[in-house]
Structure 1
Amino acid sequence: MIDFSVPMHRREFVALAILTAAVRPPELHAEARQYRIALLTLDSSERADLIKGPLRDLGYIEGKNLTFIHRSADGEPGRLATIAEELVRDGPDVLVAGWGTLAPKALKAATDRIPIVFATVGDPIGAGLVQSLARPGGNLTGMSGQSTEFKSKQLEFLLGCVPGQRIVGVLLNPDTPYSALSLKQLETAAEQRGVQLELLQVRRADQFTPDQMDRLVLRGATSLMIVEDPLAATLREAVVEQARRLRLPTMTGLADYARSGGLLAYGFSQTANYRRAAELIDKILKGARPADLPVEQPTRFELIVNLKTAKAFGIELPSLIMAAADEVLE
């Protein structure tokens, strides 16, 4: 027992403090909180680093205070439900759904308790994921692909690159809620510009054939717009190949189309959306409820121009479009 009535020199006090800390029971030492985050994606090409990088910037470091799990359905929608149930059983603090509607729908069906943040859903209200953008309700929130002027701007860029068009083809999946929203915006924009739309509707990858593209051109289409969804992403190589064969300029919000040989891509920044999704995750881990966190709309869009494809098609790209481009592929 220490007699505090006896004066203690500073050196003795420091020594006593060190000794006391050394013999303190282990359970009294503060331990860093360990968080578990699980990412579900439809396509394995959607890299986990898109979300892990922003989380690292916010202080969530894998192996230190973060355990991160990434599961992919490898492009097979039928596997999503089983994988979602497995992730829920693992009991993560937050579930993250990759780009598209199918992954968050699978997670929502698997749990109404664990918070879910989706990276980008074209129409989260139409997909039945949230009640409204401002007040999502339930256990989901995230990033929306909705933007009032988005499709109008895409059509504007496409017509600017290939003036004088009267018929524009539109490739879409009619079973995706976002397609209905996009088509409505496109129809309004096309009517304002005196352009007719010819639809090429595809529900499964095996439904897309060269004959369909031939018929689209026979119906007068002089370019092709591709409505963004996971199926469109899966069809990228096949669509670009047929567009090249038919010398058909393309426009979509999927950047990889332009990088694979399509003419134009104009869409939201996937990197920026994942960064905002990470910030939503951070808020949830600090106590916020997904129901109270508004679904955010994209604020940053990028225009990519494939100059090599333009030259191959004999298209002289306007200087205004070249100046507006965030990336020019030569």
Structure 2
Amino acid sequence: MNRRTFLYGLTLGTLSAPLVAEAQRVGKVYRIGILFQTTDNNYFQAILQGLKELGYVEGRNLAIEFRSAEGRVDRLPGLVAELVRLNVDVIVAAGTAATRAAKSATATIPIVMVATADPVLSGFVVSLAQPGGNITGTTVVPTQELWAKELQLLTEVAPSASRVALLWNPRALPGAAAASNLKTMNDAAGKLRVTLRSVEARASDDFAATFAGMTGDRIGGIFLIPSADLFGHLPQIAELAVKHRIPLLSFYRDVAVAGALMSYGASLPDSFRRAIDYVDKILKGSKPGDLPVEQPTKFELVINLKTARAIGLTIPQSLLLRADEIIQ
């Protein structure tokens, strides 16, 4: 899969849209490298939609080189090296690990990051307003307000949840970003009088033992930050949460789809779509270091009613009415 153009069964040649004025130079075929940590058709489709809207058509003025690490972050350096050797015009790097690999591989090819952790603390950009260097794009940095919203949602469905676990792999983030995330959530938890426990999880861990430990610690809710290495284990993690009857929440819709109780966070398809605006500007001559990094503007609440029933929770009608998506 990683040595051929990946189209998810959709032929870009069928995308027909009028070229926007001055969008592309006559006869120029742009080569875009796309680097995913995991394979997700929804996000790839969002990229295709963005390209279509801006008039980029495979076979006419566009060639796409898609690479996915399939959840194995150790493969990212080799995959991005392929894109560099192909001399692509721009690299779209999805996620923190992919962006880190791309940054290590090239200081000259423009990189558009999507859905990363704090890009400043991660060392990708100098500042959000003036990125500098060859990287810009979109980020999903969780603010204290967003963390507080997550905890508030948990208390709405499980008022007795006074002890909450943060299930994550802090080693997947740069030290400063990991420390900032933990401090921000601790601050939010303190204001809601919720005790937060940090629980490390890696792909090689025995998740059954991890959940048994949280149950023994009387954890009333779990908030999951799924790094690239954990994405492939989402169904198992969600299944264990149901088995132990613990509400599982996350920023990401993927987690709710996998079986978590709910998710609330930035719309990742929207973030991927907006990333294509950066690609377009760069192909037209803008320097990535001059394009401010965008923070999320569209958020979505997803509730999994099947999971709620399985763990014996009743979702308040007021919360159901606020949901953007309900999984039955």
Question: Which of the five TM-score ranges fits, normalised by the shorter chain?
Answer: 0.7 to 0.9
Q: Deviations over 1:117-142 (max 9, x none)?
A: 01110111121111111111100001
Alpha-carbon displacement from aligned partner over 1:167-190 (angstroms, at most 9, x marks no partner): 111101111245433322211111
> Which SS does the other structure have where 2:273 is aligned?
helix
CA distance in 2, matches of 1:189, 1:144: 20
The answer to whether the Cα contact below 8 Å between 2:262 and 2:301 also exists between their aligned partners in 1 is yes
Matched, 1:159 2:167: no
The TM-score with structure 2 as length reference comes to: 0.87
In the other structure, the counterpart of 1:191 is: 190
Question: Is contact 1:250-1:262 (8 Å) kept?
Answer: yes
- Please name the residue that 1:218 is paired with: 216
Distance between the aligned counterparts of 1:164 and 1:154, measured in 2? 15
Does 1:307 find its partner at 2:302? Answer: no
User: Which residue number corresponds to residue 129 of structure 1?
Assistant: 124
- Which residue of 2 is the match for residue 34 of structure 1? 29
**Cα offset, 1:278, TM superposition:** 0.4
Which residue number corresponds to residue 140 of structure 1?
Answer: 135
Structure 1: 5+ residue stretches without partners: 1-29
Distance 2:233 2:178 in 1: 16
* 1:52 match: 48
Name the SS for the 2:302 alignment partner. Answer: strand
Residue 112 of structure 1 pairs with residue 77 of structure 2 = no
**2:85 — aligned with what?**
89
How far the C-alpha of 1:45 sits from its partner, in A, is: 3.0
What is residue 18 of structure 1 aligned with on the other side?
Answer: none
Q: Is the 8 A contact 2:72 2:228 kept in 1?
A: no
Query: What residue in structure 1 maps to residue 203 of structure 2?
Result: 205
Q: Kindly provide the CA deviation profile for residues 93-123 of structure 1, in whole angstroms up to 9, marking residues without a partner as x.
A: 111101x211111111111111000111011
Is the contact between residue 265 and residue 301 of structure 2 (CA under 8 Å) also seen in structure 1? yes
Q: Is contact 1:198-1:219 (8 Å) kept?
A: no
8 Å Cα contact 1:258/1:305 also seen in 2: yes
Q: CA deviation at 1:309?
A: 1.4
For residues 261 and 232 of structure 1, the distance between their equivalents in structure 2, rounded to whole angstroms, comes to 14
Q: Which moved more, 1:183-192 or 1:38-47?
A: 38-47
Alignment of 1:144-293 (within 5 A): 144-148=139-143, 149-175=145-171, 176-177=173-174, 178-202=177-201, 204-293=202-291
Q: CA RMSD in A?
A: 1.5
Query: Is the partner of 1:297 in helix, strand or coil?
Result: coil
Aligned partners of 1:180 and 1:299: how far apart in 2? Answer: 25
* TM-superposed deviation, 1:147: 4.1
Query: Aligned equivalents of 1:32 and 1:111: distance in 2?
Result: 27
Amino acid at match of 1:127: S
State the structure with more CA Rg.
1
Say if 1:151 and 1:185, in contact at 8 Å, map to a contact too: yes
Q: Tell me if the contact between 2:118 and 2:141 (Cα under 8 Å) persists in the aligned partners.
A: yes
Partners of 2:186 and 2:131 in 1: CA distance? 28
Identity %: 38
Q: Residues of 1 paired with 2:253 and 2:275: CA distance?
A: 20
Asked if structure 2 preserves the Cα contact closer than 8 Å seen for 1:213 and 1:242, the reply is yes
Question: Which whole-Å CA distance do the structure 2 matches of 1:259 and 1:105 have between them?
Answer: 27
Runs of 4 or more, structure 1, over 4 Å off, are none
Deviation at 1:50, TM superposition (A): 2.6
What are the ranges of 5 or more consecutive residues in structure 2 without an aligned counterpart?
Answer: 1-24
Aligned-partner Cα distance in 1 for 2:115–2:286: 20
